[in-house]
């Protein structure tokens, strides 16, 4: 790139990088913390605090080994132009856990110099895959804890940063209807959507085969704003979501060979109606093709076939693709995308 452009990754599971190291190395100190698919789960404030305390008591070389890849990725993303990153949750208290992990990330630099990191916006919420364990009370408690923590940290406004939180990722996914019935998913989605609207929080909505149910709830609940995560539909479907005040989350599938329908939908929606995302680490980018695995399973990148992990430091590839669609320069495209994200998530 000729110069650094500022833009945002509105859906990035950044801390899965640290989880991957913890799960791979099997530290005995973490044996009491339950594993859910590909991350260490904390179910309440106390378990988050125990998890973080255990991390901090590790020898410095061990802690650096856990955070090295995470820090490197965050630094590369920032250097490539990613100024703001939205980090979603899939279960209770993951948002608070991620916030506490960020503090370790910045307190223990790998290098002597402290290069910049993207500003993180933390999400709270329960993914439809885990909707059978959703608790509105837990969401309310986590919000109070995270909000108070961020307010205390942002009491000095000299940096120009306000408290920013979103609800997500939430939604409907028919792939899991055998283990989590659709009616259970809908109930969890409805309660989280109402919570977000009541508290003026943006949402990140996951929709796989659940468009009808999601649109029905959006019609019922006023004041919803946010992103339809990983949109891959056509113009008609896009218009339905745009009418309800959502923006379209555009990710690596835009770069697939068979993405003509999506490209047309993006063009017809207009550049003011979209935001960019990677869904790291669950997707890969290929200028000829793109794909994703089932939730909780990382897709395999294969550089020999031109497949590279859709990580936030490669988000500029999407920027280039979008600039081509709208026949504009990348500087203008980045400016619009950043404004779109800031209008949703605040500044």
Q: Mind listing the pLDDT tens digit for each residue in 94-142?
A: 999 999 999 887 775 444 444 588 999 999 999 999 999 999 999 999 9
Cβ count within 10 A of residue 68 = 15
Residue 163 exposed, middle or buried by CB count within 10 Å (0-12, 13-18, 19+): middle
> For residue 37, which phi and psi values (nearest 5 degrees)?
55, -100
pLDDT in tens, 5-52: 788 999 999 999 888 888 888 788 887 788 888 888 999 999 999 999
Q: How confident is the model at residue 305 (pLDDT cuts 50, 70, 90)?
A: low
Query: In this structure, what CATH number is given to the domain that contains residue 322?
Result: 3.20.20.140
Domain membership of residue 2 (yes or no) is no
How many domains does the chain contain in total?
A: 1
Domain membership of residue 15 (yes or no) is yes
User: What are the C-alpha distances in Å from 280 to residues 16, 122, 230?
Assistant: 8, 15, 12
CA distance 257 to 253: 9
pLDDT of residue 257: 75
Q: Collapsing DSSP states into helix, strand and coil, what is residue 117?
A: coil
Please give the sequence-ordered ranges of beta strands (E in DSSP) within the chain, or none if there are none: 7-9, 35-36, 39-40, 82-87, 119-124, 165-173, 203-208, 226-229, 246-250, 274-276, 283-285, 291-292, 308-309
Comparison of pLDDT for 58 and 239, the residue scoring more: 239
Domain membership of residue 123 (yes or no) is yes
pLDDT in tens, 135-194: 999 999 999 999 999 998 876 544 545 679 999 999 999 999 999 999 999 999 999 999
Domain membership of residue 16 (yes or no) is yes
Peptide bond into 281 cis (omega under 30): yes
Whether the per-residue pLDDT at 269 is higher than 90: the answer is yes
Q: What does the pLDDT average to over 228-236?
A: 97
Which residue, 87, 92, 176, 174, is CA-closest to 126?
A: 92
Residue carrying the six token digits 């019935």: 181
Cβ count within 10 A of residue 30 = 18
* Cα Rg, the chain, nearest whole Å: 19
Residues recorded for the chain? 347
Q: How confident is the model at residue 330 (pLDDT cuts 50, 70, 90)?
A: very high
Domain membership of residue 280 (yes or no) is yes
Residue 250, domain extent: 7-154+162-345
Q: Return mean pLDDT, the chain.
A: 88
Domain membership of residue 167 (yes or no) is yes
Q: Collapsing DSSP states into helix, strand and coil, what is residue 292?
A: strand
What's the pTM value of the predicted model, to 2 decimals? Answer: 0.90
CA distance 79 to 117: 8
Do 120 and 14 contact (CB within 8 A), yes or no? Answer: yes
Which residue, 126, 138, 143, 131, is CA-closest to 199?
A: 143
Domain membership of residue 240 (yes or no) is yes
DSSP 9: E
Residue carrying the six token digits 């990580």: 311
Domain membership of residue 1 (yes or no) is no
């Amino acid at each position: 790139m000729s110069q650094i452009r500022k833009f945002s990754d509105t859906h990035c599971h950044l801390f899965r990088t640290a989880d991957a190291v913890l799960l791979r190395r099997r530290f005995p100190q973490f044996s009491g913390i339950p594993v859910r698919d590909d991350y260490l789960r904390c179910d309440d404030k106390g378990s988050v605090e125990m998890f973080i305390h255990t991390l901090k008591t590790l020898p410095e070389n061990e802690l650096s080994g856990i955070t090295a890849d995470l820090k490197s990725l965050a630094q590369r993303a920032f250097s490539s132009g990613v100024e703001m990153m939205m980090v979603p949750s899939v279960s209770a208290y993951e948002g608070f856990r991620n916030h506490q992990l960020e503090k370790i990330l910045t307190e223990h630099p790998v290098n002597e110099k402290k290069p910049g990191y993207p500003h993180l916006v933390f999400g709270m919420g329960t993914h439809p895959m885990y909707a059978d364990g959703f608790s509105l009370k837990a969401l309310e408690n986590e919000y109070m804890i995270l909000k108070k923590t961020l307010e205390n940290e942002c009491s000095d406004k000299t940096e120009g940063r306000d408290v920013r939180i979103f609800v997500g990722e939430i939604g409907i996914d028919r792939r899991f209807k055998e283990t989590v019935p659709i009616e259970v998913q809908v109930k969890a989605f409805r309660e989280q959507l109402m919570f977000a609207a009541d508290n003026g929080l943006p949402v990140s909505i996951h929709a796989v085969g659940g468009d009808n149910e999601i649109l029905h709830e959006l019609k019922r609940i006023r004041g919803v704003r946010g992103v339809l995560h990983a949109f891959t539909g056509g113009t008609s479907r896009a218009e339905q979501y745009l009418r309800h005040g959502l923006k379209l989350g555009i990710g690596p599938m835009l770069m697939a060979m068979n993405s003509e329908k999506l490209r047309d939908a993006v063009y017809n929606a207009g550049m003011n109606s979209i935001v960019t995302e990677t869904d790291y680490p669950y997707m890969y980018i290929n200028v000829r093709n793109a794909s994703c695995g089932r939730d909780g399973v990382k897709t395999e990148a294969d550089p020999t076939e031109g497949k590279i992990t859709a990580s936030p430091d490669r988000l500029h590839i999407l920027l280039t693709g979008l600039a081509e669609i709208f026949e504009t320069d990348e500087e203008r495209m980045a400016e619009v995308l950043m404004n779109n994200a800031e209008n949703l998530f605040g500044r």
